Amino acid sequence: MAERAPIPAEEYERQCGQTNDSSSEFESCTEDAGLSGDDVPTTRLVSGLNLQEVCDTTGQGAEFEVESQLQMEEAALDNRYFDAEDVFEQLSRAPIDDESEDSSTEDLDMSPFERLAIKMEDLCGDRGVMKRVLKQGVGDVVPSGAYVRVHYNGYLEYSDEPFDSSRLRNEELRFRLATGSVVPGMEIAISSMRKGERSRFLVQANYGYGKFGCPPRIPGNATILYEIEMLNFVDRSTAEEFNSLTEAQKKEATFQQLLEVAIVEKNHGNEYFQRHQFKPAISKYSKALRTLENARLANDEEEAKRNKALLKLYNNMALCNLKVGEYPRCIANCNRALEIDGGNVKALYRKGQALCELSEFDRSKGCLLKAQNLAPNNKDVREELKKLDRRFQQFTMLEKERCRKMFGGTKEAKEIKSSDIPECSVEFKKLIDDKFVSFCEDASLPEMTFPLEKLTAAERDCIIHTAQGLGLEVTTRQMGPDKQLRVRKKTSGGA
């Protein structure tokens, strides 16, 4: 969900159904008292008021607490909204030197923002929103209703420190255009941008925070300078129009229409992937796959286009499956990709990774070697083969040590029966093996614990068998209302 910027006071009045009567009454009261706008006494509250309580006509009213003088003095001493070091890093982005670019404006009696506006383009026709491109973007201008992802800094005139900054919060602003999520001036500004573009915008008060502003950060009638970078956008209008059709209408859709819908879903999935939101990405890729798999093909050319799109989607799905530990599903998607292109290096590489995670080392090596033969210079494949060899050696050593400890190292060979192996998932067994290998190698860790209530009986037995096979002590202990399985290294004097 997009972080919502403050709503201008005029817009708030319109949404809440307030009239100008209250403001005019306030102005008349201050005039009667002989006070100008700057002289009107104000004070700060400890917490905000509930407007519903204020407007309540039942006589209940609203309770509030005024800040003490000490609290106000402390607030004045610490009047920064962002960390000082972070602000310093952003000062290089502040528009403090632009006036030096053109000596012709140096002698003019103009404010900094007025000098900036000279080289800016008027987006609205009334100079309400002015624009200057700092870095050109690529592709088309963002369409109305698109989902956008931007970074921005907002400045007041004569201030190098931003009053608001997504960069200082280290959190991109994400929202959908034409939904009223930001002030009108920022909406107009972003709607003029292309992907990768970075621009500056001067936004007048009537397109920003209005005559009331947003105290204490933004005074009334303030002109705002935004520096905005368009990171990416996704236009879902095609997909949403398709989703609004009836099932009968969807069946009549042409392949080209379905391909366009699938591309939209894929791009939205890519957007989630870039934000490391792998589950939502999988959902979008799945929608794109279903759309294409049900498409009716008229000729070989359409089949080739569909297979090309499906290949990318299967590979993307497989990568997301790897990221979330869904190794069997990763293998299944790789197999579907290989059905389309048996020599696809990405599919072979990711299948090899998934098989390695499942401790199927021989099959993993077969996939990776085939990928290496197809792409001898692929660094990722070479590194994965080295990793596979290390994992196989660790696994072999662990198995030998487990058998030696479990059967006492006697000369008589004893066969391990399948019934002696706890029945738990391959993934869990591999996880426990890895944990115990790291535990045994780390001399600084004397013990490790597992919550019993979160383990199945098979998983508990797997932990106990593995630990005992490595010569570790296993006990249970009560920690408050919960029980834990504790695994400890034996001391030198231990049994």
Q: Once rounded to an integer, what is the mean pLDDT over residues 196-210?
A: 94
pLDDT computed for residue 391 by the predictor: 80
- State the sign of the Cα–Cα–Cα–Cα dihedral 33, 37, 41, 45: positive
Contact of 266 with 235, CB cutoff 8 Å: no
* Beta-strand relationship, 198-203 and 138-141: unpaired
Residue 415: band (very low, low, confident or very high) from pLDDT cuts 50, 70, 90: very low
- Check pLDDT > 80 for residue 52: no
pLDDT in tens, 251-296: 888 898 899 999 999 999 998 998 899 999 999 999 999 989 878 8
- Counting residues of the chain whose pLDDT is more than 70, the rounded percentage is 73
The burial class, CB within 10 Å (0-12 / 13-18 / 19+), for 118 is middle
pLDDT digits (tens, 9 = 90+) for 451-482: 877 778 788 888 888 887 777 888 887 776 77
* For range 420-442, the mean pLDDT: 72
Token duo for residue 187: 């909406």
Gap between the Cα atoms of 242 and 246, Å rounded? 9
Conformation bin of residue 279: beta by default, left when phi > 0, alpha when psi is -120 to 50: alpha
- Which is higher by pLDDT, 79 or 326? 326
State how far the Cα of 472 lies from the Cα of 436, in Å rounded to an integer: 10
> What's the per-residue H, E or C state across the chain?
CCCCCCCCHHHHHHHHCCCCHHHHHHHHHHHHCCCCHHHCCCCCECCCCCHHHHCCCCCCCCCCCECCHHHHHHHHHCCCCCCHHHHHHHHHHCCCCHHHHCHHHCCCCCCHHHHHHHCCEECCCCCCEEEEEEECCEEEECCCCCEEEEEEEEEECCCCCCCEEHHHHCCCEEEECCCCCCCHHHHHHHCCCEECCEEEEEECHHHCCCCCCECCCECCCCCEEEEEEEEEEECCHHHHHHHCCCHHHHHCCCHHHHHHHHHHHHHHHHHHHHCCCHHHHHHHHHHHHHHHHCCCCCCHHHHHHHHHHHHHHHHHHHHHHHHCCCHHHHHHHHHHHHHHCCCCHHHHHHHHHHHHHCCCHHHHHHHHHHHHHHCCCCHHHHHHHHHHHHHHHHHHHHHHHHHHHHCCCCCCCCCCCHHHCCCCCHHHHHHHHHHHHHHHHCCCCCEEEEEHHHCCHHHHHHHHHHHHHCCCEEEEEEECCEEEEEEECCCCCCC
pLDDT at 466: 80
Q: What is the pLDDT of residues 292-304, one digit of tens each?
A: 987 888 899 999 9
Residue predicted with more confidence, 357 or 316? 316
The Cα 317–Cα 332 span in angstroms is 10
Whole-number pLDDT of residue 202: 96
Q: What pLDDT sits at residue 464?
A: 83
Task: Check residue 107 and give its pLDDT.
Answer: 52
- Please compute the mean of the pLDDT values over residues 68-80 and round it to a whole number: 55
Amino acid at residue number 446: P
- The DSSP bridge partners found for residue 121 are 131
Average pLDDT over residues 97-115: 65
Please tell me the predicted confidence (pLDDT) of residue 87.
55
Q: How far apart are CA 412 and CA 306, in angstroms?
A: 61
Half-sphere exposure of 241 (CA within 13 A, CB side): 11
Long-range contacts of 488-493 (CB under 8 A, 24+ apart): 488/446, 488/447, 489/439, 489/440, 489/445, 489/446, 489/447
Reading the block at residue 259, the tokens are 């391909």
Query: Is residue 116 predicted with pLDDT exceeding 70?
Result: yes
Q: Round to whole Å and give the CA distance between 377 and 69.
A: 70
How many angstroms separate the most distant Cα atoms in the chain? 107
